[in-house]
Amino acid sequence: MKYSRAFLQTLREPPAEAEIKSHQLLLRAGLARKLSAGVYTLLPAGLRVLHHIERIIREEMNRAGAIELLMPALQPAELWKRGPRYDAARQVMFTAQSATRRTSEETVLGPTHEEVVTDLVASVLASYRQLPLTLYQIQTKFRDEIRPRFGLMRGREFLMKDAYSFDCDSDRATASYQAMYNAYSRIFRRIGLHAFAVEADTGVMGGSFSHEFVVPCAVGESEIATTDDGSYAAAIEKAVSLASPRPHNPPPVPFEKFPTPNVTTIEDLTIKHGVAACCQVKTLVYIADSRPVLFLLRGDHVLNEAKVLAAGFSQIRPATPEEIVSMMGCPPGSLGALKPLPSSITRVIADECLRDQHGMTTGANEEGFHIRNISVPRDLHVDEYRDLRTALDGELHPTTRRPLRISRAIEVGHVFKLGTKYSEAFGARFLDTDGQSKPAFMGCYGIGVTRCLQAIIEQHHDENGIIWPASVAPWQVALLLLDESLHEMAEQLETQLESLGITVLVDDRAERPGVKFKDADLLGLPLRLTLGEKSLNSGGVELKLRAGKESTLVPVQEVPTQVQLVLNQLLTAS
């Protein structure tokens, strides 16, 4: 491929819209262009990378026994309404309609395909003999993200590899899950991503357990908790930890109301009245499934909404200040779950850390007043104790007793063991060996393909540009032609290399050498050949690794074999 014909346009300066390095390089190297927020064109060079990632994904999915198909992005809303999570999924749905023909039936652009695939399998599945079955596709997803960001990292239209497994029973579903888990590990390794699995929340997807595959990254959108020895790794939504204990849990004494004018935050109460955050009870008012619920936590702790959802609620949101006043008779800032509770509150759930705590301080349900020496079991209305808190950096993991580090990561893949939630809803049932009709046990598995593309850049770059892993590089070799008089020699080298199955980008532009070197570094092809009078006079063609500093001179006739040798080393090393 000739550079002049490759529709490659590099940018000298990073566009103002790009904040993070991988996004800047994506645009600067001419891999993608933005159409609108979270919507991108993949330019030819970027598409070549994508194709390599897809090829590796297909190889590994096929190796794991999965079968490829292609499902539609246009999906009738009616299908979703029959499923178990229509309301939640609608939060991110785009809808589509004909511009000229009014139809009564709403169409949605598929954010994912559990509904479609389960409906499909339901129409085909009859016997246990058809199982196990794992179907996958690489297909465009549409999600109206609240906030698209960082280029391809979080888009509103993006490419996903999604797979769905169907099994006779839970154990065999676990085996299918494990097969996908292993395939994912191989895929990420092969495309050059240093990814690892963390225990994850099942969220709106439902199901029994799940792992996220993440790559550590300071600008990642997921938070993970890990122990230093790698024995425990979990998404923050799922992470469990031992709270740092209160220094002292005093014996119960009578409580006492005291004035706290203009104090509405944990911090104010600490500063102005000397009440340590860990001795305060924080009272959060939520609307959970349309009903008011209080969540109580220690003042130094943070509510984990995923754990709230895991407690059996399907939709939650913080109450508005107006709602709080009307339900509690008091604005936020002075709330307490004191007995007797306002009749509007239907349920109070307290974090485990508050069990049997005395000498606590909480709001008096009266503006400008708090109450000290609260005994939680004696004075507060608590229906239930649960783990509601978000793990904090430095806390110990409960079983390994190792300190947790909270850090950021990019989620590049996610595997779920689903159970029968969808198969029951869509009637994906089969007759088992015992003649009984049973719902299939499902799993679902996603990889953010376009996100992987950018995550690779995030993990493989230096101050001069991208350093592509050889397995996914848009071309394997950059051949810089520095003297137009050597055009024919470049032509011959290109042909020879291509006949060996090696992809070459020949920089044949009428540019000065400096420009070609800069662009070559920016685009980041793993191998660089420099052909010019200077190198030729000293014995041949200069060969340099993008990742290295040194270059070697290779006699012209040895170039193809040398390149092949070095490329094979690169490919097997990764």
Partner RNA sequence: CGGAGCGUAGCUCAGCUUGGUAGAGCACUUGCUUUGGGAGCAAGACGUCGCAGGUUCAAAUCCUGUCGCUCCGACCA
Q: Which of residues 359-378 bind RNA (CB under 7 A)?
A: 362-363
Shortest distance, position 536 Cβ to RNA, whole Å: 7
Number of chain residues interacting with RNA (CB under 7 A):
73
Residue from 4, 37, 377, 400 in contact with RNA (CB under 7 A): 37
Using CB under 7 A as the binding rule, the residues of this chain from 547 to 566 that contact RNA are 551
Nearer to RNA by C-beta: 117 or 506? 506
Our CA angle for 551, 555, 559, nearest 5°, is 75
Q: Which one of residues 267, 289, 356, 393 is an interface residue with RNA (CB under 7 A)?
A: 267
Angle in degrees, CA 138, 142, 143, rounded to 5: 125
Q: Which is nearer to RNA, 135 or 306 (CB)?
A: 306
List, in order, residues 6 or more apart from 217 with CB less than 8 Å away.
Answer: 408, 409, 410, 455, 458, 459
Asked if 353 contacts 343 with a C-beta cutoff of 8 angstroms, the reply is no
Residue 267 vs residues 275, 276, 277, 333, 559: alpha-carbon distances, Å: 9, 9, 7, 11, 68
Cβ nearer to RNA, comparing 84 with 111? 111
Q: For the CB of residue 441, give the shortest distance to RNA in the complex, in Å.
A: 33
Nearer to RNA by Cβ, of 286 and 430: the residue is: 286
Q: Smallest gap, in angstroms, from Cβ of residue 501 to RNA?
A: 26
Tell me which residues in 80-109 interact with RNA (CB under 7 A).
none
Q: Which amino acid is at 215?
A: V
Contact range with RNA by CB under 7 A, out of 60-68, 169-177, 238-246, 294-302: 294-302
- Binding residues for RNA restricted to 118-177, rule: CB under 7 A: 146-150
Shortest Cβ 273–RNA spacing (Å): 12
What are the distances in angstroms from CA 486 to CA 99, 490, 507?
57, 6, 12
State the minimum distance, in angstroms, from the CB of residue 282 to RNA. 5
Contact criterion met (CB below 8 Å) for 389 and 297: yes
138 versus 275: smaller Cβ distance to RNA: 275
> Which amino acid, 210?
S
Residues from 368 through 427 that contact RNA (CB under 7 A): 390
Nearest-approach distance from CB 16 to RNA, in angstroms: 3
Q: How far is the CB of 552 from RNA (least distance, A)?
A: 11
**Binding characters for RNA, 299-338, by CB under 7 A (x = yes):** x-xxxxx-----------xxx-x--x-------xx-x---
Which one, 252 or 532, has the nearer CB to RNA? 532
The site string for RNA over 508-527 (x = CB under 7 A, - otherwise) reads ----xxxx-xxxxxx-----
CB of 462: closest distance to RNA in angstroms? 10
Q: Which residues pair with 134 in a beta bridge?
A: 165
Least separation in angstroms between residue 385's CB and RNA is 17
Per-position x/- string for 9-28, each x denoting binding to RNA as judged by CB under 7 A, each - no binding: -xxxxxxxx-x--------x
Kindly state whether residue 34 participates in binding RNA, applying the rule CB under 7 A. yes
Closest CB to RNA among 305 and 379?
305
Q: Whole-angstrom distance between the N-terminal and C-terminal Cα of the chain?
A: 25
Q: In the complex with RNA, which residue's Cβ is closer, 198 or 236?
A: 236
Run of H or E including 176: helix 170-190
Looking at the Cβ atoms of 317 and 355, the one nearer to RNA is: 317
- Can you tell me which of 60, 114, 115, 542 binds RNA, judged by CB under 7 A? 542
Nearest CA to 370 out of 409, 341, 330 is that of 330
**Element (H or E) spanning 559, and its range?**
helix 559-573
Residues 433-462 contacting RNA, CB under 7 A: none
CB atoms within 10 A of CB 391: 25
How far is 318 from 299, CA to CA, in rounded Å?
Answer: 17
Q: Which of 395, 221, 223 is nearest to 300 (CA)?
A: 395
Please say whether the beta carbons of 328 and 364 come within 8 A. Answer: no
Instruction: Provide, rounded to whole angstroms, the least separation between the CB of residue 268 and RNA.
Output: 7
Distance of closest approach, residue 23 Cβ to RNA, in angstroms: 7
How do beta strands 316-318 and 281-288 pair? antiparallel
- Residue window 238-257: x/- pattern of binding to RNA, with contact defined by CB under 7 A: --------------------
**Residue 76 vs 513, nearer CB to RNA:** 513
CA separation for the pair 513, 116 (Å, rounded): 54
The DSSP call for residue 161 is E
Of 177-236, which residues contact RNA (CB under 7 A)? 219
CB of 58 or CB of 149, closer to RNA:
149
> In which residue are the tokens 């662009």 written?
519
Q: What are phi and psi of 66, to 5 degrees?
A: -80, 155
How is residue 449 written in tokens?
Answer: 């393909």
Near RNA in 469-488, by CB under 7 A: 482-483
Separation CA 134–CA 216 (nearest Å):
29
Find the Cα–Cα–Cα–Cα dihedral 515, 518, 524, 525, rounded to 10°: 40
Residues forming a β-bridge with 74: 109
Q: Looking at 308-427, which runs of residues are DSSP E strands? A: 316-318, 347-351, 360-366, 369-374, 384-386, 404-419
Q: Minimum Å distance from CB 317 to RNA? A: 7
Q: Which is nearer to RNA, 115 or 519 (CB)?
A: 519
